Amino acid sequence: MKKFIVSTAFLFAAFLATAQQDAQFTQNMFNKLSVNPGSAGHNGGFCGTILTRSQWMGFDGRPQTHVFSADALLGSKHGVGLTIFQDKLGIESSFVGKLAYSFHKTLGPGTLGIGVELGVINKSYGSDFVAIDDYTLDPSIPNANTSAMTFDAGLGLYYYIKDKMYVGISSLHLPQTELKDVADGGGAGALNYAQSRHYYVMAGYDFNVGAKWTIKPSILAKTDASSTQLDGTVIGLYNKLVWAGVSYRVQDAVAALAGIDFTKINPNLEGLKFGVSYDVTTSTLGDHSSGSLEFMVKYCTVIVKPPKREVYKSVRFL
C-alpha cells in the first residue's frame, strides 16, 4: 500500500496541473462521496457532510462552492448516497444533484465498494458579463439569462480497511453530454457547454504513532485526459480529538488544515466534526488573491446502536 501511494503520486505529478471543470476542495478526504459513488456507506452508518469554499478571495466573481452529501449503509452490503452541489463563478452558475448506490463485498482483509451514480447537471449564465471590449459584438457570449439541464452518470470502485486505509478510482460525467440553450427574450448569444469525462484516483493510510498520535497521509488525483491535478495531504490526529496538517496542490497552492472531533468534549455531540483550511496561492494568481478559505462540518452516527448489556442477579444466588 505504501508503494502504491508513492507510485501513484509520482505518476500524476508528471502531468501539468491545471484547472478542470469540476470544482476543487482542499478537505477532499472528508468529501469522498461527491467524487466516488463506491464510497457510499463506507463509514458503516449514516454520515452527512457540508463543505463551503471561497476561492481566490479578493477577486470579484471568484469561485464560491457549496456541497452537501449524505450516505448510509443499509444492512451490511448496500450503501446509498445523495450529493447536492452548487457553484458560482462569475456569470456562470452550476447545480448538481445526484444519487449513488454501492454494493459492498468483503475482499481479503477489507471491503470493496462497487458504486454507480445518476443525477442531473444544470448550467446557467447571467447577463452581467464584464469585458473591456463590447461583448455584445461576440455572438457566442449571451447578453441575457440562459440555462440548460442534462442528465449525468458515474462509476466508482472503493476499497477500504476501516480505520486503516482506502484506495479509490472513479469516473464521473460518463455520458459527456452537452448543455445548449439560447438566451432569454431573444437576446444574443447562447449557452453551449460540453461536459468532459473526469477520472479520479484517491488513496490514504493511517499510521499509528504511539498511543495518541495518528499520521494520515492521502492523495487525490483528477484528470479530464487533457489536464491533471494532484493534491497531497498529511494530517496529524492527536488523541482522536484534534488534527492539523498541510496540503500541496501541484503548481497551485499550499494549504493549512485544522479540525476538531467533538465526541470526547461532549457525549451529546458524538460523531460531530468541524474542520477549516486556508490555501495560499502559489501560482501567479497569488499576487492578486488573499488565498482561499474552506469550512467543513461532518456528522456520523450508527443507524442501529448495539443493545446495552444488562446483567441480572437473582437473590437466590447471593
Is 202 inside any structural domain? yes
Q: List pLDDT tens digits, range 16-26.
A: 333 457 888 99
Residue 7 is predicted with a pLDDT of: 40
Whether 113 maps to a domain, the answer reads yes
Q: Residue 103's closest CA among 48, 30, 159, 21?
A: 159
Q: pTM value?
A: 0.82
List phi, psi (to 5°) of 52: -135, 135
Q: How many domains does the chain have?
A: 1
Question: Is 48 part of any domain?
Answer: yes
| Within a domain: 317 | no
pLDDT at 35: 94
CB 215 within 8 A of CB 209: yes
> Residues 109-155: pLDDT tens digits?
999 999 999 999 988 877 676 666 666 666 666 666 778 888 999 99
Summary mean pLDDT of the chain: 83
Query: Is 308 among the domain residues?
Result: no
Q: What is the CATH number of the domain that holds 57?
A: 2.40.160.40
Between 13 and 83, the higher pLDDT residue: 83
The answer to whether position 183 is within a domain reads yes
Q: Is 205 domain-assigned?
A: yes
Are 120 and 98 in contact by the 8 Å Cβ rule? The answer is yes
* DSSP string of 18-50, one letter each residue: ---SS---S-GGG--TTT-GGGTTTTSSEEEEE
258 lies in some domain: yes
Residue 157's domain spans which residues? 2-17+24-303
Cβ proximity of 177 and 204 under 8 Å:
no
